[in-house]
Amino acid sequence: MRHFGQPMAAQRTFYLTTPIYYVNAAPHLGHAYTTIIADAMCRYRRLAGDRVYFLTGTDEHGDKIAQAAAGAGEAPQAYADRIASAFRETWNRLGISYDDFIRTTEERHKRVVQAILARLYEAGEIYFGKYGGNYCFGCERFYTDKELVDGKCPDHQTAPTFIKEQNYFFRMGRYQDWLVRYIDERPDLIRPERYRNEVLGFLREPLEDLCISRPRSRLQWGIPLPFDDRYVTYVWFDALINYVSALGQPGEPRRETFWPHAQHLIGKDILKPHGVYWPCMLKAAGIPVYRRLNVHGYWSLGGGKMSKSIGNVVEALALTDTYGHDAFRYFLLREMTFGLDASFSEEALVGRLNADLANDLGNLVSRVTTLIVNVASGVLPAPGPETPQEALVGAALEKTRAEVHAAMEEFAFQRALAAIWEFIGVVNRYVDGTTPWVLARDPARKDRLDTVLYTLGESLRCLSLLLAAFLPNTSLKIRQIIGLGEAPMTLADLTWGKLAPGASVRKAPALFPRVEEKKAVPAESRKAGADRGRVTVADFSKVDLRVAEIVAAEPVSKSRKLLKLTVKVGAEQRIMVAGIAEQYDPAGLVGKKVIVVANLEPATLMGIQSNGMILAASEGGTLSLLTLDRDLPPGSPVK
């Protein structure tokens, strides 16, 4: 019997756009970040049952595209075709679930741009005038003197070009007071808050009219103005309109369904066009303003030591093929706090892959499936009576579900993932605390074992749903392992107890094999234990604490309590005997990083020489090994 959880919230309509990317450069990390987070958001909203439309595309007109085409010795259209396909292929390879890909050289787009221009011209919103000003070709806009830093464009660090020519202008200045009020009344229109404040800051200066044209004598590569074909429209007036042109003309079903439910997602570099020009253009054209502008920060490249450091953003994107799309996505979503800048490095990516994906998630899936296969022949048992331990897992799921929901309303992907990883931690601790491998040895405790195994299987099902928007490939793998395959799912299924007993569970291949860090072993760790002296309790400061990685673990024969562990401390491997057999499954320990006393006197336990001590906290019979919350190589000192 299926039982249903909460009734579904009313269906929402959600139209999400990425910037349309200039075709003068190959797809790179920055483009990929915006597109990947848009994809995660749209997948999440589809799972929530919302009506979703996801638009991306390419911006193909203007001076810099024409220059790039000339530089490549190609006609602009042929050049734009080639780079636009490269973007589309990149998104397909990365599994981006876009519904539409708009190109500004398409007829459907040009028609809408020209219709809007004609309408504004007739309404007297556009006039012909002369203007001279400082123009940045990188940004494709004029800068006021105040905006320049040391006379240069703050984004491109280049001196602007003074341009003076006759052009068409949009009477944007008229809308200044209206826009300030519009933003004031809508605290959520531009998010996060800092960018809302930045837009209000722009609006404290007088808002100048916007130049929207280029004479064709100087630039051919654009959309001709419907009222003067000696001119083409200028890049922003062309580009911003893609968000409505992709939906068709007014009256067409897609346009009526999705506009104005638009949420735009952009990097902070294009805040002014989206936060100022675009609402004014929409207002003047009689089109309702978008619902929300979501602005993220910038990735910089951190100098990593791991390989020759990544020289540019295209190389950074290539790491998605080296480490897998899900690992790459995870890193981008988890590492950057939405709205703030972050630094990208291969080391940081590998650190997260090893700690969060291989250790926390991958080990959990492999422990659980190995258990169900080994002690229940791969068939998920029906649960016996529940205890408070199971209630804790159910409560953790509920909490995570609510936290993910709240985080996703804010585009706070990093918070959503942190909440999911808390749930993973709860389930990992549940395995440690219920010791199913011990229960399995006692036929009288079969009921208890069944409850534990069911809880674990059900946790994996919930996890596959929680992860679906963020790590789609991994989510599908988990579902296949627990016998659910590609059956449709929705967030409404995120209620406890929906996995039917009897499901067949397979042993999982490692979801995320660990990546060996090629980092040099820190010099200090090579002399671990050698010259720090033996310690007494009073001499605590002399205790040489180190990070160690468990590479093998086995029970000690004739002992209920002891495990023989082989651990790596820096470059050397040692044997340590630890009294944790009642609390830890040997197989689940392999790959864990723990803290050890590296300079302890050797001791012999059950005939085995133990060379160091593994630290664990304990309370009321529960043990908890000290592990790291961020990955560090074995041998790292603990101070």
Residue 633 interacting with ligand MSP (CB under 6 A): no
CA quadruple 90, 92, 95, 96: dihedral sign: positive
Contacts 24+ apart (CB under 8 A), 623-630: 623/432, 623/580, 623/583, 623/584, 624/429, 624/432, 625/580, 625/584, 625/592, 625/594, 626/594, 626/595, 627/592, 627/593, 627/594, 627/595, 628/355, 628/547, 628/593, 630/351, 630/355
Residue 21 interacting with ligand MSP (CB under 6 A): yes
CA distances to 437, 562, 626 from 551, rounded to whole Å, are 20, 17, 16
Supply the angle between the helices 313-323 and 325-335 in degrees, to the nearest 10.
130
Residue 302 interacting with ligand MSP (CB under 6 A): no
Question: Catalytic annotation on 42?
Answer: no
SS3 content of the chain, % helix, strand, coil (to 5): 40, 20, 35
SS3 state at 225:
strand
Q: In angstroms, rounded to a whole number, what is the distance separating the alpha carbons of residues 358 and 592?
A: 10
Q: Which of 131, 137, 202, 298 binds ligand MSP (CB under 6 A)?
A: 298
Pick 272 or 477: Cβ nearer ligand MSP: 272
Q: In angstroms, rounded to a whole number, what is the distance separating the alpha carbons of residues 363 and 421?
A: 13
Question: Catalytic annotation on 462?
Answer: no
Pick 58 or 459: Cβ nearer ligand MSP: 58
Residue 101 interacting with ligand MSP (CB under 6 A): no
Residue 234 interacting with ligand MSP (CB under 6 A): no
Instruction: Characterise 202 by phi-psi region: left (phi > 0), alpha (psi -120 to 50), beta (else).
Output: alpha
Pick 240 or 499: Cβ nearer ligand MSP: 240
Residue 269 interacting with ligand MSP (CB under 6 A): yes
Residue 266 interacting with ligand MSP (CB under 6 A): yes
SS3 state at 302:
coil
Residue 335 interacting with ligand MSP (CB under 6 A): no
Residue 267 interacting with ligand MSP (CB under 6 A): yes
SS3 state at 127:
strand
Using the contact rule CB under 6 A, the part of the chain among 18-26, 368-376, 398-406, 586-594 near ligand MSP is 18-26
Using the contact rule CB under 6 A, the part of the chain among 26-34, 77-85, 526-534, 557-565 near ligand MSP is 26-34
Q: Residues 236 to 255: which contact ligand MSP by CB under 6 A?
A: 239-240, 242
Pick 297 or 570: Cβ nearer ligand MSP: 297
CA distances to 41, 77, 109, 326, 466 from 471, rounded to whole Å, are 12, 36, 33, 5, 9
By beta-carbon distance, which residue lies closest to ligand MSP? 30
Q: In angstroms, rounded to a whole number, what is the distance separating the alpha carbons of residues 325 and 321?
A: 7
Residue 432 interacting with ligand MSP (CB under 6 A): no
Question: Catalytic annotation on 153?
Answer: yes
Residue 299 interacting with ligand MSP (CB under 6 A): yes
Pick 33 or 91: Cβ nearer ligand MSP: 33
Question: Catalytic annotation on 305?
Answer: yes
Pick 266 or 357: Cβ nearer ligand MSP: 266
Using the contact rule CB under 6 A, the part of the chain among 16-24, 107-115, 397-405, 493-501 near ligand MSP is 16-24
Using the contact rule CB under 6 A, the part of the chain among 14-22, 186-194, 204-212, 622-630 near ligand MSP is 14-22
CB of 21 to ligand MSP, least distance (A): 4
Residue with tokens 């991994």: 474
Q: Let me know: does 610 contact 596? Beta carbons within 8 Å.
A: no
Pick 56 or 213: Cβ nearer ligand MSP: 56
CB of 87 to ligand MSP, least distance (A): 9
Phi/psi of residue 134, each to 5°?
Answer: -85, 120
Residue 270 interacting with ligand MSP (CB under 6 A): yes
CB of 410 to ligand MSP, least distance (A): 18
Residue 452, Cα to own-chain centre: how many angstroms? 32
CA distances to 243, 567, 579 from 547, rounded to whole Å, are 52, 10, 19
Residue 496 interacting with ligand MSP (CB under 6 A): no
- x/- binding map, residues 345-364, to ligand MSP, per CB under 6 A? --------------------
CB of 577 to ligand MSP, least distance (A): 50
Contacts of 367 (CB under 8 A, 6+ apart): 431, 585, 587, 588
Instruction: Characterise 424 by phi-psi region: left (phi > 0), alpha (psi -120 to 50), beta (else).
Output: alpha
CB of 32 to ligand MSP, least distance (A): 9
Residue 293 interacting with ligand MSP (CB under 6 A): no
Q: Residues 513 to 532: which contact ligand MSP by CB under 6 A?
A: none
Q: What is the DSSP string of 56-121?
A: EEEE--SHHHHHHHHHTTS-HHHHHHHHHHHHHHHHHHTT---SEEEETTSHHHHHHHHHHHHHHH
Q: Which of 14, 15, 16, 20 binds ligand MSP (CB under 6 A)?
A: 20
Residue 54 interacting with ligand MSP (CB under 6 A): no
- x/- binding map, residues 58-97, to ligand MSP, per CB under 6 A? -x--------------------------------------
Instruction: Characterise 209 by phi-psi region: left (phi > 0), alpha (psi -120 to 50), beta (else).
Output: beta
Pick 282 or 613: Cβ nearer ligand MSP: 282
Residue 143 interacting with ligand MSP (CB under 6 A): no
Tally the C-alpha atoms within 13 A of residue 243's C-alpha that lie toward its C-beta: 28
Catalytic residue among 153, 211, 280, 462: 153
Rg (CA), the chain: 30
Supply the angle between the helices 363-376 and 472-481 in degrees, to the nearest 10.
10
User: What count of other Cβ atoms lies within 10 Å of the Cβ of residue 625?
Assistant: 19
Q: Which of 27, 31, 275, 545 binds ligand MSP (CB under 6 A)?
A: 31
Residue 22 interacting with ligand MSP (CB under 6 A): yes
Question: How many chain residues touch ligand MSP (CB under 6 A)?
Answer: 18
Residue 98 interacting with ligand MSP (CB under 6 A): no
Residue 227 interacting with ligand MSP (CB under 6 A): no
Pick 267 or 378: Cβ nearer ligand MSP: 267
Catalytic residue among 64, 109, 139, 264: 139
Paired with 522 in beta bridges are none
Residue 570 interacting with ligand MSP (CB under 6 A): no
Q: Let me know: does 478 contact 365? Beta carbons within 8 Å.
A: yes
Which active-site residues does the annotation give?
28, 31, 136, 139, 153, 156, 305, 308
Residues near ligand MSP (CB under 6 A) are 19-22, 30-31, 33-34, 59, 239-240, 242, 266-267, 269-270, 298-299
